[in-house]
Amino acid sequence: MEDKYFISLDLEMNCGERSYNPCKIIQVGIAIGTFKNYIDKIPFEEHTWYINPNEKIYQNIIELTGITDEMILANAKTHAEIHDEIKLLINKYNCYPNPIVWGSGDVELLINEIEDNVGHCHIFGHRDIDTKTIHTFNLLTSGKTSTKSSLKSALGYYKLKFEGTPHRAVDDARNTLNLFFNILDRQQKVWDIITRAQAIRINQ
C-alpha cells in the first residue's frame, strides 16, 4: 500500500447565488501521492488548470475562490488539453483508478464536461472514494449527533491542519488526499489491533 499512488480531485465551479442552470467548471486541481508521501511528509505531485466557462464569473464565486475573468482569460486551457495532461499523469504513476474526493460529484462533472467538449473521456474509473462519506460514517460510529462538516473542520477532527487556502482546487485536492491517508492510517491500526486480539484469543 505504501507504494500505491492515489489521485485526488477537486473542482471550482461558477455558480451564481440564484442560478438554476448547470454550473460550469472554472478550475481543476489534482494531487497525486502515496501513503509513504503522507507519512514522510514528502510533497505530493500537484497540478491546477483553469477552464473558460464562456460566461462572466459570478461575484460570489470571485469572492469565494479568488478566480477572476482576467485569470481565466490569461490561463485557461481546453478540456482536451486538461484531459490529456491528467491521463499522462495517471499513466506515469499508475494511479489507483478511482479518484479521492471530498463529496461525490466532481468526477462525474469533469467527465461529463470533457465528453461534451471533446467527444470522449479516458480518465478515471467508474467510481470515486468519497472522504466526506467516510468521515460521516466515523462521526456516526463515535456517537456524534451532528455530521455536518467542511473539509477544513473534518481535518481538524483528525488533528490535521488545512494547508493553503480553502476553495482553491489544488489546495482542496491536497488536503483531501492528506485526510484520506490519515483515515487509512487509522483504519490500518484498528485492523492491526483486531488481528492481534484474535491471535491472542486463538492461542489461549
Question: Would the pLDDT of 47 be above 90?
Answer: yes
Q: Where are the domains of the chain?
A: 6-203
Contact 148, 5 (CB under 8 A): no
Segment among 44-48, 98-102, 143-147, 191-195 with least mean pLDDT: 191-195
| Residue 194: pLDDT band with limits 50, 70, 90 | confident
pLDDT in tens, 15-24: 987 655 679 9
Tell me which CATH code domain 6-203 carries: 3.30.420.10
Task: For cell 495517471, name the residue.
Answer: 90
Give pLDDT, residue 29: 98
pLDDT in tens, 75-131: 999 999 999 999 999 999 999 999 999 999 999 999 999 999 999 999 999 899 999
pLDDT in tens, 131-182: 999 999 999 998 988 899 999 999 999 999 999 999 999 999 999 999 999 9
Q: How far is CA 55 from the centre of its chain?
A: 25
Euclidean distance between CA atoms 67 and 65, whole angstroms: 5
Prediction pTM value: 0.92
